Structure 1
């Protein structure tokens, strides 16, 4: 993606596109015609399994008000007790907190290019797939990557952070 193409994207996607370029990632963000605010919407738009969608869930750490980003497989639910055991007690983050800390609106939170670097954990369940898709800073924006790319791009550890499926 060249500079002119990046400039045509919404601001949040521009930040993500630049971060991906700077780290040599081969896949630029793409704009979907329909919103991909949920994992299911993204999976439907891309024609992939919902588990291949890397959801970005933001929590608010209670002791220092830090943003905690949990990147999880779209077909899994985060187990907050497991997250708390790894990073300290967390609580829900409202839309204002998410926007202020990440620079992205809920439904478009990318795993990288945040306004303030979050504490990040990657769900090990994403490694069931060779190819995954993550939000690219806008509810219509996504980018393709492998789970190993997510580790490299974020520098975050892989952990068991989800509930056992029923």
Structure 2
């Protein structure tokens, strides 16, 4: 197992009491479509952790791979004047993970997390496990609780 995926698995157990089965795919799971193809599930079952800056404050949006975040809706939901995707360096510095492998939990900093209600329609969703080749299955309601996320539809 990749050291970063192993680190995520250990942190999930220590921080949340979550025993996870990390699955790794050499072909990669960078996009929701890649992850769904590798896992053998619907694209909508991929829980993508996206990092935005709302008035320069980072926020994580865990969204279904079938949806796209509407930045205007996100700004309205947060009462922010401006919203945009966070850059790679800011994500790594704030969350401790790199783009393509950002998990929905176990971040280095406490950040607000919004959760796409589409994910709640599934028994199992798949989320990044610390690398662009690693994912783990989890019950979406449990994931929402562990992430201390607020369910809010900010997608199109």
Provide the TM-score with structure 1 as the length reference: 0.85
Cα deviations by residue, 1:38-76 (Å, 9 ceiling, x for unpaired) = 0000000001000000011110121xx321110000001
Deviations 1:98-153 (A, max 9, x none): 11111111111110111212221000011121110000111011110011011121
Q: Is the 8 A contact 1:66 1:119 kept in 2?
A: no
Structure 2 distance, partners of 1:124, 1:10, is 32
Aligned pairs for 1:1-166 (under 5 A) are: 9-11=2-4, 13-22=5-14, 23-62=16-55, 65-87=56-78, 88=80, 89-163=82-156
User: Do the aligned partners of 2:9 and 2:19 also contact (CA within 8 Å) in 1?
Assistant: no
- Report the number of matched residues: 153
RMSD: 1.5
* Secondary structure in 1 matching 2:145: helix
Cα distance in structure 2, aligned partners of 1:10 and 1:19 = 12
Partners in 1 of 2:27 and 2:146 — Cα distance?
Answer: 26
Do the aligned residues in 2 keep the contact of 1:10 with 1:138 (CA within 8 Å)?
A: no
What does the per-residue CA deviation read over 1:64-105, in whole Å, with 9 as the maximum and x for residues that have no partner?
Answer: x32111000000111112211222232221111111111111
SS in structure 2 at match of 1:57 = strand
Once residues 36 and 112 of structure 1 are traced to their aligned partners in structure 2, the CA distance between those partners, rounded to angstroms, is 18
Provide TM-score, normalisation by structure 2: 0.90
Give the superposition deviation at 1:19: 2.9
